[in-house]
Structure 1
Amino acid sequence: MENPNRVVVVEDDPTVRGAVHDYLGRHGYDVDAYGDGVSARDALRERTPDLVIVDRMLPGISGDELCRDIRSRSDVPIMILTALGDVEQRIEGLESGADDYVSKPFALRELVLRADALVRRTKAAPAQAAFAAGDFEIDAARRRARVRGTEIALTGREYELLVFLVGNPDRTLPREEILREVWGWTVGDASTVTVHVRRLREKIEHDPREPRYLRTEWGAGYRFSVSGSAD
């Protein structure tokens, strides 16, 4: 029998924490739950799970601080829990390294579907072992990428975004299409794409303020050049 996926839940509200713990457990996950950021951080430094679900507002250290600590060591997928309708909270959480978010109050079924999608995409078998395009090399078997011959550290979602962009060079890609193809969302906040584009630029561009590879087409979306050409 295949080992269950392991998820760490970090939530200070005991009622929410217990409900999430029990629901994920009933849907096949091996769940460890913590009520504060410090305990979770210490546990995560000892062992990396398949997924982390973290509330932004935590005692000890914040959810954002915990995300940054995780990202300094691992590309494990992270889902944040944010206040309903607070766009700035979502953006700040994503900028801290999260891959996805669920707004409170949330349906437990939605949480599980989002969790399943994150874990599935991370563990998906690659369609091809490796390929190269322009300045970019993609090693799908290892989920690693190189730009100009240098390997870059990417989160799971950043990697998927880069692969999608490399596979669609010199096309103007609307945010809605990127959200659908990379996140699997038909409805969602386009600022999620904006934040991940900004994070990706910081890793692939010589000067993220003057991007050569990943350029904004104002009012339309983004256009990606695998060679960094100005055309």
Structure 2
Amino acid sequence: WPVFLIFFGGLDQSIECESVDRTSITIPDIQFSLIHQLEKVVRSSIHVVIMSGSGLDLTYIRDSPQFDSLIWIGYAGQSDGLAISNVVFDQYNPGRRLPIAMYSASYVDNHRVLVRLFRVNVTNTGEISGDDVVLAFVRSRNATMNGEISPIKQLFGFERVSLAVNQSKDVFFPLTVQHLLTIARDGTKWLRPGSYDILIGEQHMHTLKLYGQSIQWASKRHVFSSNENI
């Protein structure tokens, strides 16, 4: 039987709760000290399970070649041990997405104009059934204008898929004009000429190009498609 070590760490309500503000985003120093000692003496695989109610900087553990896996779990109930063991011993394959994440605020109108529909094929190449959450982003290559700062990329769609071993499934993401808008400092919405990369999963799917002058988006009369003049 393979031999490996599981390290359990994280936070508790003496460190984080509604009446206590954290002063650090890392795990406690005493846990880091133990982790460094384990790296020196353990020659088998080390798997790390971190429990907390909020985000932590786990970069060191993630990047260290000594640790084979890193699992984050919130403050679970009476079945937390069973849930963790199911993941560690390959009885369950989670979707690999955290319940705590930061996304840019999105301001949209009720009226949506479809620019293009994207399709991506997802295949489970692993050895057990599992879930995955496919994320779709749009990334503007345009320079900032009038003090506006474009986000690195914006989420415009997501879809969770459950797949058996070697099973494939098509996932569809509609892209609308609203997903291409830039929000100015005064709250107005603008459609800018330039290039927009469509990123789905880890793939660069397409680059949309809009030409012409910038226009303020105010009503549903503005209808465009890719590679057309604004």
State the TM-score, normalized to the length of structure 2. Answer: 0.27
| Structure 1 or 2: more strand by fraction | 2
Rg larger for: 2
| Structure 1 or 2: more helix by fraction | 1
State the TM-score, normalized to the length of structure 1. Answer: 0.27
